[in-house]
Amino acid sequence: MTPDRVERRAEVERTTMALSSFMRVERATSNGRVAIGGRRIYILPTSYGLIYAALLFLMLLGAVNYGNNPAHLLTFLLAALGGNAIFLTWRNLRGLQLRCLGSAPVFAGQTAVFVVELVGDDRERPAIQLGFEGGKSLVVDLPPSATTRRELRIADLPRGLHSPGRLVVSTQFPLGLFRAWCYVACEQAVLVYPRPGESWVAPGSEGATLDGESDGYGAEDFAGLRNYVAGDQPSRIDWKSFARDRGLNTRLFSGQAPVPLWLDWQDAPGADTETRLSALARAILDAEAGAREYGLRMPQAALDPDSGPAHRHQCLRLLALQGQDHA
């Protein structure tokens, strides 16, 4: 495709999206479901529908010119078939219920997976197309009284909180002569964490106490092993288990509780915001993998030391929303 054609196609898509912004959008009810109403459905002929109409017009001209009654009958029968296809295409969407279930948080560069649930009634609904504006669509055949879920994917989202935009529900069933579609507001946004960077040694990650007299784990009784975290002292590494191909582990001792690790925005390496956020994201993942309590200090907020999936999410969320209105 030549650059001129690409530019023209992009201009057509921008114009189409600008015009579609004035169209009605279905919104979820109190139970989270959307029921597509007849007044929200738009319908236009497809390219095949336009060709079909042109052929009917030529057939009508020939029938009138030659005064051929069977040709008149065939033309009107085909016209009635096309008119009936308009109703059937519109009816295939009317009353359809669906619900946007959103997407789990992802890291920048990963693919967000939005789940859409379709709820059928007493009618079969073939060839239902689902897709977000400007994205790829998939086709669903919904049996009577069935409930099905489909995944819509959006790749390469940047850091932050992102809405997938409007969901386009369409169909060309049964003859492909007309396309009926409806816009559905999908308000479940996806949170995109910063892309984790390279491992680095955060100040205090070696476990030093405030007075510097101990490494933070005591030296009395052996308490077990944990996964190695960048910054652990070499003297605490269990080299024997490493020699037996059991991975790199750090020895824990009773007698003194570990000092919580503080991850500070000011200490993160990097000359720009995104590099610092990536470094902090990596430090959070490393601390979580090592079962270490950690806190986070950012310019706009701070989180006290803790550990676990919920704390991990809160810290990564704070990084994801850094410098944004949602923070």
Q: How is 148-183 classified by DSSP, letter by letter?
A: EEEEEEE--PPSEEE---EEEEEE-TTTSSEEEEEE
Which sequence spans correspond to the domains of the chain? 33-191, 221-320
Q: Where are the alpha helices (DSSP H) in the chain?
A: 3-20, 47-66, 69-93, 239-243, 273-289, 309-320
Residues in the chain: 327
DSSP β-bridge partners for residue 55: none
Number of H helices, E strands in the chain: 6, 18
Helix (H) or strand (E) holding 259: none
Q: Distance between CA 190 and CA 210 in Å, rounded?
A: 40
For position 257, what pLDDT does the model report?
Answer: 55
Amino acid at the residue 235:
S
pTM of the model: 0.72
Burial of residue 316, with CB atoms counted within 10 A of its CB: 0-12 exposed, 13-18 middle, 19 or more buried: buried
Cβ–Cβ < 8 Å for 30, 44: no
Residue 40 DSSP symbol: G
Three-state secondary structure call for residue 265: helix
Lookup: tokens for 81: 């078939």
Q: How many CA atoms lie within 13 A of 12 on its CB side?
A: 6
Amino acid at the residue 117:
E
Please report, in tens digits, the pLDDT of each residue of the chain (327 residues total).
565 654 665 564 555 555 554 556 666 655 668 989 988 999 999 999 999 999 999 999 999 999 999 999 999 999 999 999 999 999 999 999 999 888 999 999 999 999 999 998 999 999 999 999 888 999 999 999 999 999 999 998 999 999 888 999 999 999 999 999 999 988 889 999 999 999 888 776 654 433 333 444 444 566 677 777 766 777 778 877 777 777 788 777 665 556 788 999 999 998 899 999 999 999 999 999 888 899 999 998 999 999 999 999 999 999 999 988 655
For position 217, what pLDDT does the model report?
Answer: 45
What are the distances in angstroms from CA 90 to CA 46, 138, 177? 14, 19, 12
For position 199, what pLDDT does the model report?
Answer: 86
Lookup: tokens for 284: 């959070």
For position 223, what pLDDT does the model report?
Answer: 63
For position 1, what pLDDT does the model report?
Answer: 53
For position 8, what pLDDT does the model report?
Answer: 60
Residue 247 DSSP symbol: -
For position 244, what pLDDT does the model report?
Answer: 79
